[in-house]
Structure 1
Amino acid sequence: MTNPLFYAKIILFGEYGMIEDSQGLVVPYSFYKGTLKFSETGSEFEKKSNIHLQKYAEYLENLVLMNDFILDIERFKADILNGLFFDSNIPQGYGVGSSGALVAAIFEKYSIKKHNPENISKDNLKNLKNVFGEMESYFHGKSSGMDPLICYMNLPILIENKENMDKVAIPKGEEGKGAIFLIDSGITGETGPMIQIFFEKMKTEGFRKTLKEEFIRYNNACIDTFLKKDMNPFFRNLKKLSHWAYEHFRPMIPESIFNIWKKGLDSNAYYLKLCGSGGGGYILGFTKDYEKAEKMLDGFHKEVIYRF
């Protein structure tokens, strides 16, 4: 039997805000994917991945997980000795869940009790997210568990707050003029340092206040209007959200993106926001007229992920 594929994920809304109890909307992205395989060629990539898995197995061995979510580490270690590696085209440091897909793949293959993503209850979803958070903390220092959860479920998830989340239906995409797209900043980002910057900012009362009173309000309004496909108020709130990030998330915006971020706000042709923690990797773009935005963003590599 071939191993299942685990897709990348994109946080459409809620980056950083979810740490402070904002809503979040996270969707799978099937352009990038990964799967566990046994090495046949012994290539450099396969060897490197295998060594990473060895180190990760040592970490997992010392992890105490809830009863329903215990992993068969001995089988995992035996497979690693037989050349197991993670065959993935998900770019690392791009905010699309490279470690999340790996965690989901390992959990699916080695959890002693099998879980069917389609039948997971709301309560178990929360438990699973917590387990994934512990498993993924190896890669980022601290993880919410959201990335692996999305990769594992392969369904859009609406995070209502820290305690509540549920599967959600995204409005069906159609071939309209509008689009949500990714822009490649040309550099990789590291999640850990960006999160450190955020927590430093959170120490100042002014930042905490504007995050709670403005960012979270615009973010939640974007999710609400997007899910209702109410595009005019959606873009109104999106502009406020993009402008807020330009003012307050400056260290997280890659230098190569500064000017085009401002250009979008000034022209109203498109609006940009962080995709994940920022610092590099992908930036998310939203536009009512992709053809126009594409011309204005000439020279940047772009990928359309949703049409409307």
Structure 2
Amino acid sequence: MTNPLFYAKILLFGEYGIIEDSQGLTVPYSFYKGTLKFSDLSSEFERKSNLSLKKYSDYLMNIELDEKFKLNIADFQKDIAGGLFFDSNIPQGYGVGSSGALVAAIFEKYSFIKYTPESISKSELKELKKVFGVLESYFHGKSSGIDPLICYMNLPILIENKENVDRVSIPKSEEGKGAIFLIDSGMTGETGPMVQIFFEKMKTEGFRKTMKEEFIRYNNACIDAFLKKEMNPFFRNLKNLSVWAYEHFKPMIPESIYKAWKKGLDTNAYYLKLCGSGGGGYILGFTKDYAKAEKMLEGYQKEVIYRF
């Protein structure tokens, strides 16, 4: 049997908001993927990966998991000694779930009880999200478990609130003029420091108020309109969301993107938002006319992820 591939993920909506109980919408992104493999560890990449798996397995030895989700650490460590590594082209620090895919791959291979994404009930999804949060917290300090869950399920997931998640079907991608796309900021972002900035901001009452009354309202309205394929209300709320982020998430917006972000708002040709925690990595773009937006964003590396 060939080892299953685990795809990257993109959080279309909900960055930072899901910490405060907003909704989130996340989709798998098959351009980037990773899988567990064996080798003689002749390349530096393979050796480094093998070593980090070894460190991770030591961490796993010391955590308690529910019987339903226990991992066979002994087999994992035996395989590491035999040259196991994670062969992945998912960029780290780009907000597309590099550690999530790794955690999903390890769970799939080493959990004593085998699950199939199709057979997991909504209540099990909730439990699994918690388990993945524990498994991924090694990489980020604190994890919601959402990234590994998406990578494991390989399906679009609607984050209803802090506790509940559900599978969701997003409208089929069509060859229209509109597009959702990624822009490469040209630098990596670190999740930890960005989340720290957010929590500092949350200490001020004014920011907490605007987060709840404006950001979460626009964010949830975007998800609702997108899933219903109502593009006019979608773009109206999206602009509000982009303006809000430009004003309140300045430290998280990579400097290389500032001007382009503002230009989109001024011309209404496209709107930008953070992809993940920001600080670097990818930025998400949305436009009704991709050809026009592409011309205006010349010089940036772009990848279309969805057409409408």
The bucket for the TM-score relative to the shorter chain is over 0.9
Q: Return the letter of the residue paired with 2:278.
A: G
Overall identity of the aligned pairs, in %: 81
Q: Is this contact kept in 1: 2:179–2:305, CA < 8 A?
A: yes
SS, match of residue 283 in structure 1: strand
Describe the superposition over 1:59-78 as per-residue Cα deviations: whole angstroms up to 9, x where unpaired: 11101111100000000000
- Residue of structure 1 equivalent to 2:191: 191
Q: CA deviation at 1:188?
A: 0.2
Secondary structure at the aligned position of 1:162 is classed as coil
Give the superposition deviation at 1:51: 0.3
Give the secondary-structure state (helix, strand or coil) at the position aligned to 2:114.
coil
Look up the equivalent residue of 2:292 and give its one-letter code.
Answer: K
Alignment deviations for residues 221-260 of structure 1 (CA, whole Å, 9 cap, x no partner): 0000000000000000000000000000000000000000
Alignment partners' CA distance in 2, 1:33 and 1:71: 22
TM-score, structure 1 as length reference: 0.99
Q: How does 1:155-170 map to 2 (within 5 A)?
A: 155-170=155-170
Question: What SS is found at the alignment partner of 1:306?
Answer: strand
Q: Deviation of residue 41 (structure 1)?
A: 5.4
| 5+ long unaligned stretches in structure 2 | none
5 Å-filtered alignment, 1:30-49, equals 30-40=30-40, 42-49=42-49
Q: Secondary structure at the match of 1:7?
A: strand
- Counterpart Cα distance in 1 of 2:282 and 2:289: 20
* 1:78 equivalenced with 2:78 (yes/no): yes
1:21 is matched by which residue type in structure 2? D
User: Partners in 1 of 2:131 and 2:41 — Cα distance?
Assistant: 34
How far apart are the structure 2 equivalents of 1:127 and 1:153? 14
- Equivalent positions of 1:1-308 (< 5 A) are 1-40=1-40, 42-308=42-308
CA distance in 2, matches of 1:54, 1:67: 23
Give the secondary structure class of the aligned counterpart of 2:113.
coil
- Matched to 2:221, the amino acid is A
Letter in 1 for 2:63: L
Query: Aligned partners of 1:68 and 1:258: how far apart in 2?
Result: 47
SS of equivalent residue, structure 2 residue 232: helix
8 Å contact kept, 2:26–2:150? yes
TM-score, L = length of structure 2: 0.99
Which segment is superposed worse, 139-148 or 33-42?
33-42
Contact 2:41–2:47 (CA under 8 A) maintained in structure 1: no
Deviations 1:41-67 (A, max 9, x none): 521100000000000000111011111
1:247-293 Cα offsets, whole Å, 9 max, x none, are 00000000000000000000000000000000000000000000000
Query: Is the partner of 1:225 in helix, strand or coil?
Result: helix
Q: Could you list the per-position Cα deviations for residues 82-132 of structure 1 after superposition, in whole angstroms to 9, with x for gaps in the alignment?
A: 000000000000000000000000000000011111110000001000000
Contact between 2:178 and 2:290, CA under 8 Å: does it hold in 1? Answer: yes
Helix, strand or coil at the partner of 2:15: coil
RMSD, aligned α-carbons: 0.6
For residue 66 of structure 2, what is the amino acid of its counterpart? Answer: M
Aligned-partner Cα distance in 2 for 1:253–1:119: 39
Any conservation in 1 of the 2:95–2:278 contact (CA below 8 Å)?
Answer: yes
Runs of 4+ residues deviating >3 angstroms: none
- Paired residue secondary structure (1:74): helix
Q: How many residues align?
A: 308
Partner AA of 2:81 in structure 1: L
- Give the Cα separation in 1 of the matches to 2:49 and 2:162: 33
Q: Measure how far apart 1:39 and its partner are.
A: 1.2
* AA aligned opposite 2:108: E
Distance verdict in 2 for CA 1:41–1:57, change over 3 Å: closer
